[in-house]
Structure 1
Amino acid sequence: MTQGLAGDGKLPIEVGINSIWVMVAAVLVMFMQAGFAFLEIGFSRGKNAGTIIAKILVNFSIAAICFWAVGFAFAFGDGGSLIGTSGFFVAGENASASFPLINVAEGTVTVETLFFFQFVFCAVSLAIVWGTTLERVKFGVYVIYAIVFSSLIYPIGAHWIWGGGWVAEQFNIQDFAGSTVVHLIGATGGLAVLLLLGARRGKYGNDGKPRAIPGHSMPLFGLGVLILWLGWFGFNPGSTLGALDGRFPEIAAVTNLAAAGGVLAAVAIMWLKVKKIDIGMAGNGAIGGLVAITAPSGFVELWAAPIIGLVAGGIVVYGILAIDKWIDDPVGALSAHGLAGIWGTLACGLFTSPRLAAVGDPGLFYSGDPGQLFNQAVGVVVAFVFVFSASFVTFWLIKKTYGLRVTAEEEEAGLDISEHGMYGYPEQFIPAPELVGYSPAASPAGAASPKATTREVPA
């Protein structure tokens, strides 16, 4: 009989209800992969649009296998303060006994529910890494780093803060749904690879000043942002890991208010700066607000949410403008996920309500005590140092062996054709007669092979 089952072999009804809710939330988080795909496609040039689909599918699949085999056990398995040591392959009749968060007798979710919910979080964190590397990274780099990230880097970071590890034990860090564990960890991996990868060709002029490389589709970018916004209603409310206490609707409201604040702040700042409504900044303002509220969503009252979002929107705008002077981050992930993730984690130390402080202490604005704010800062520093060090070493080894970026010729042609042999938008690049299968002899005079006659669109 599986541990915690009633005498008739059935799960308690509250376990079933909670598991249904968390699985629905997990599916919403999984759908965020579509949001990342559309966002990155929109911010890419047309010659690099197709490769993102392959990247999303392959990374998600690698993370699924690795997190099932070892990552979930390392993150949430019973064991020491540094890493979990039980529950590999989520296997066995009494699998839930390996995971301290699981106790079906007390109405928690099933082990398979917790596994899938935490896996999609890992997959989101991995997706954040790659938005920074668009248009010049070798496809094989995704495969190598995805294995390391989903097997070791993310699980260890998650264990320290969420799985009963030493950071949680010593500092009681508040990170309800992952401003640090998911978003800062992903952005930190992105920073590590960017420092070794370098900028896209043509991004910086001879004077060192950045040049704009516009993405090819703001509508697709906007669709991606809206899908991510929708997915966040699984991300934060689902982290209650239960439905019966009525907390998840309140967390959904907090999440939405912060996102709205992020949009309005980003739009207002750009209007004041350039007298234009910047589409990219509006979208990144939404993401920044969502990232920032991810840690405090289970700890703050509704009134604090738009404030947290407004500050995040400002951080995102000024962060993107500052980072762009030195580092080529095409989607603004270092700012929207990294800086906003730091702010959201610290915001717990300011705004956590005494009513909701299930972990740690109330925030500074309630208690007058900066102790929780200090603990939050420690968690941020520890996560950043660990993930950056592990990621930098991994990417440095990849660079010295396999290589990080495609050749100049492949980058100029576009990753769609150089890595996958077909454009995401074939009609834009391949002459129409050859696109439909005409031979050179049957083509109009002077027509050659698609490779020789490929047209370039403006960068």
Structure 2
Amino acid sequence: MKIADVALAVDTVWVMLCAILVIFMQAGFALLEAGSTRMKNAGHIAGKQLLSFSIVALFFWAFGYALTFGEGKWIGTTGWFLNIPAEPGALPTEILYLFQLSFAAVSLAIAWGGFAERAKLSVYIVFGALYTVLIYPVVGHWIWGAEGWLHEWGKQDFAGSTVVHLQGGIAALVATVMLKPRLGKFNKDGTPNLIPGHNQVYSVLGVLIIWLGWFGFNPGSTLTAMDGFFGYVALTTNLAAAAGAVAAMVTIRMLTGKAEIPTILNGVLAALVAITAACAFVEPWAAVIIGAVAGSLTVFSALYFEKKGIDDPIYAFSVHGVAGIWGTLSTGFFASPRLVEKVGIGKAGLFYGGGWTQLGVQALGVAVSAIYVAIVSFLILWILDKISGIRVSEEDELLGLDLSEHGSYGYPEQLSVPQPVKAAATQEEAS
């Protein structure tokens, strides 16, 4: 066997392993979202994650992958149903599909945060399919497509702060505004009421799983294991996440006097989101700064939007949208010349004497991506609302989506009527 064949086999196994890690993040999102919402909706929210992944798998196979990575400047126009033969020495198309599918599924999982606890199940199905065909692939092609116009301009988004997270965050924001707040979230004077999640242990475990999965997300985006660069990407990713946790804890403690667990979790996720664009372009010290800023920023963002009457149940926009914007812009400040040369995309950041060019490209990418996703998400949901409505009835919302949408409760013992327990026969009675 030739050395090139061995190298390809190693890379193929590496990317497949990373795809599995990112797909496993769906389990993390299921635990995080279910734990961060109320018990009466837990089964619905967890089960919806499985349905969501199934929808993305089918529609990304048929259309989404071709639209994202097919030939074309503005959108892919070739490769339907994975009809893209792999070039000699390149990774198999099937492996690349599974890896990129895992990213699209994460993006949709983020969007679902804005729908939580009040959207109809049918809306998840239709919006999920259209998101996978009309929204995610368009921005994905602009930035990651070989002929995409933002890619040609040198936009730096190594693993998807914009492509994956900003898109999901913007869609979540549009949804949560159109669906309006959950019943009981705000008083008549606009002051918010706390609607705590029912299981913080689930939420913590979910974030730990997501953190683990991120080692497939960012390092896997090298698409090769041969030069060992994936280890460097893993380092910057981990440093940022740790800094985000500490910064969020310090920030919320200063503001409220309490080290709130959900806020610490959001700090971890926001930092991971932010470093996703920059992980291959910045030095370790910059990764710590990027993660810390993201962790602190998401605290202020979540409080601000809640004060403005926006009910984002798991703070999807603050964690993924705001942090996605910051992470995308951060390379315009911190991109190191040696790493830019290695990756081969864009220019060095402002703090390295690279001028304002890269920051301008990053800002342009954020703006056009956010506008496109917001407009198309709004149109899809507006049409669905006119046709069948997008929010469940007040009765169903009060009852809980477990029962109203699925006919069974996520915690059935909570609804069962206790029955008298007949004492076991004594040994004397038995004899």
- TM-score scaled by length of structure 2: 0.94
Counterpart of 2:395 (choices 380, 387, 409) is: 409
Deviation for aligned residue 1:109: 1.8
CA contact (8 A) 1:172 1:359 kept: yes
Counterpart of 1:86 (choices 78, 84, 100) is: 78
Q: Which one is further off, 363-372 or 228-237?
A: 363-372
Separation (CA, whole Å) in 2 of partners of 1:311 and 1:167: 30
Alignment match, 1:95: 85
Aligned length: 416
Report runs of 4+ in structure 1 exceeding 3 Å deviation. Answer: none
Alignment match, 1:394: 380
Q: How does 1:235-250 map to 2 (within 5 A)?
A: 235-250=217-232
Counterpart of 1:51 (choices 23, 44, 47) is: 44
Q: How does 1:142-221 map to 2 (within 5 A)?
A: 142-221=124-203
Deviation for aligned residue 1:152: 2.1
2:284 partner SS: coil
Q: Which letter does structure 2 place at the counterpart of 1:353?
A: S
Deviation for aligned residue 1:170: 4.8
Deviation for aligned residue 1:165: 4.3
Q: How does 1:17-416 map to 2 (within 5 A)?
A: 17-78=10-71, 80-91=72-83, 95-96=85-86, 103-105=87-89, 108-325=90-307, 326-357=309-340, 358-416=344-402
Separation (CA, whole Å) in 2 of partners of 1:50 and 1:167: 42
Separation (CA, whole Å) in 2 of partners of 1:296 and 1:104: 30
Separation (CA, whole Å) in 2 of partners of 1:45 and 1:414: 9
Separation (CA, whole Å) in 1 of partners of 2:70 and 2:92: 14
CA contact (8 A) 1:109 1:242 kept: no
CA contact (8 A) 2:145 2:151 kept: no
Q: In the TM superposition, what whole-angstrom CA distance separates every residue of 1:215-273 from its partner, at most 9, and x where no partner exists?
A: 11100000011011000000000000000011001100100000001000000011111
Q: Which letter does structure 1 place at the counterpart of 2:11?
A: N
Alignment match, 1:99: none
Q: In the TM superposition, what whole-angstrom CA distance separates every residue of 1:402-425 from its partner, at most 9, and x where no partner exists?
A: 211100000000000110111100
Deviation for aligned residue 1:171: 2.4
| Structure 1: runs of 5 or more not aligned | 1-5, 97-102, 435-459
1:295 partner SS: helix
Q: In the TM superposition, what whole-angstrom CA distance separates every residue of 1:316-354 from its partner, at most 9, and x where no partner exists?
A: 100010011221011111100000000000001011110
2:236 partner SS: helix
Inter-CA distance 366–125: structure 2 relative to 1 (3 Å threshold): same
Q: Which letter does structure 2 place at the counterpart of 1:343?
A: W
Separation (CA, whole Å) in 2 of partners of 1:167 and 1:317: 34
Separation (CA, whole Å) in 1 of partners of 2:88 and 2:239: 33
CA contact (8 A) 1:15 1:110 kept: no
Deviation for aligned residue 1:53: 2.3
Percent identity at matched positions?
Answer: 50
Deviation for aligned residue 1:11: 7.9
CA contact (8 A) 1:346 1:376 kept: yes
Q: In the TM superposition, what whole-angstrom CA distance separates every residue of 1:39-85 from its partner, at most 9, and x where no partner exists?
A: 0111111111000122111110010000000100000012x211111
CA contact (8 A) 1:84 1:159 kept: yes
Q: Which letter does structure 2 place at the counterpart of 1:20?
A: V
Q: 1:424 aligned to 2:410?
A: yes
1:423 partner SS: coil
Separation (CA, whole Å) in 1 of partners of 2:80 and 2:363: 32
1:49 partner SS: helix
Separation (CA, whole Å) in 2 of partners of 1:387 and 1:170: 21
Separation (CA, whole Å) in 1 of partners of 2:250 and 2:296: 9
Separation (CA, whole Å) in 1 of partners of 2:175 and 2:195: 20
Deviation for aligned residue 1:168: 2.4
CA contact (8 A) 1:300 1:353 kept: yes
1:50 partner SS: helix
RMSD of Structure 2 on Structure 1 (CA): 1.6
CA contact (8 A) 2:115 2:176 kept: yes
CA contact (8 A) 1:138 1:406 kept: yes
CA contact (8 A) 1:70 1:88 kept: yes
Q: In the TM superposition, what whole-angstrom CA distance separates every residue of 1:117-166 from its partner, at most 9, and x where no partner exists?
A: 00010000000001122111100000001110112211111001001344
Separation (CA, whole Å) in 1 of partners of 2:119 and 2:58: 23
Deviation for aligned residue 1:433: 3.7
